[in-house]
Amino acid sequence: MKIHLKTALDYIKRSPFQALAALFVLTLTFFVGTILAVLVYSSANLLNYFETRPQIITFLKDEITPENVSALQNKLSADVRVKDVRYVSKEEALEIYKQATSDNPLLSELVSPTIFPASLEFSVTDLSFAQEVINEIKEEGIVDSVGFTASLGGEKTLEDVVGRLRTLTLYLRIGGGVFVGVLAGTSLLVILVITGMRITTRRGEIEILNLIGATPAFIRSPIILEALIYSSVGAFVGWLLAFLIWLYATPALIGYFGDIPILPKGTLNLFGLFAIILVGELIIGLGLALSGSYLAVSRARRNR
């Protein structure tokens, strides 16, 4: 192994520009790959956040009794289309209002709990159930009115927001996947070309090794090892650059998105996410290096 590693490092030292070309392409691939992986993670979290927000608020009539509320709450909780049912009393509603208007205390001083209706807030497991659940709950005698949560970004309903996010996430996944695929294909070609050039320039050495009884695996080893060095270094450097950029941007992102957990909460969890991405990229790099170099070696054998 030591002799193969030395040979592979010698190959790299003797052709520094080929090595740099390979490293740049692989670094770029894995840099974009890391950025995209985190974007996909964040967009999925963003989507999940909005999908799991209390989407339907059922405002209850003033004359309700606790038994009535409890009965409706139990009924909703037993419905498989409904999740996260929560009762908000008049007092709690006032607290929410006070928090929402905390920048203007005068507004909260002018109101009392009596003007806020109690409500039952819940989400649906799938937004397609929303309309039929709303229609059913409107039939309940204690229900005054039903509505979606407040509009966001000018959208009329949360469904529109979620729909938009879904489309955005889908485009991000498809577009990003295609882009990374193209970059990965380019990396594969670069490894293939460099390995092919290496075999051509080392033909004399390969012939000598053949004559002294080296097995094909022995001859291939430094060539494949060289490709592995390119891919692993490229994966690590690309990942590291993206990691540093994310770290730099994290405070601003958290400040902008507030409670929306677009990145894992806690430093350890964030590092964990990046560690998983690194392991994944190293495995992909291994696959790229092995397939590229094997393709080049088998092509060289066919042409011999």
Q: Which residue ranges make up the site for another protein (CB under 8 A)?
A: 2-3, 10, 14, 205, 207-216, 218
Q: What is the nearest approach in angstroms of another protein to the Cβ of residue 209?
A: 7
Name the helix (H) or strand (E) containing 6.
Answer: helix 2-14
Comparison of 10 and 109: residue with beta carbon closer to another protein: 10
Using CA atoms, how far apart are residues 138 and 8, in angstroms rounded to an integer? 73
Comparison of 2 and 265: residue with beta carbon closer to another protein: 2
What DSSP character marks residue 164? H
Determine contact, residues 279/235, Cβ cutoff 8 Å: no
Using CA atoms, how far apart are residues 191 and 279, in angstroms rounded to an integer? 20
Comparison of 176 and 222: residue with beta carbon closer to another protein: 222
Using CA atoms, how far apart are residues 42 and 37, in angstroms rounded to an integer? 9
Comparison of 40 and 209: residue with beta carbon closer to another protein: 209
Comparison of 135 and 298: residue with beta carbon closer to another protein: 298
Q: What is the nearest approach in angstroms of another protein to the Cβ of residue 218?
A: 6
Which of 271, 257, 250 is CA-nearest to residue 47? Answer: 257
Determine contact, residues 146/134, Cβ cutoff 8 Å: yes
Q: What is the nearest approach in angstroms of another protein to the Cβ of residue 204?
A: 8
Q: What is the nearest approach in angstroms of another protein to the Cβ of residue 21?
A: 22
Q: What is the nearest approach in angstroms of another protein to the Cβ of residue 208?
A: 5
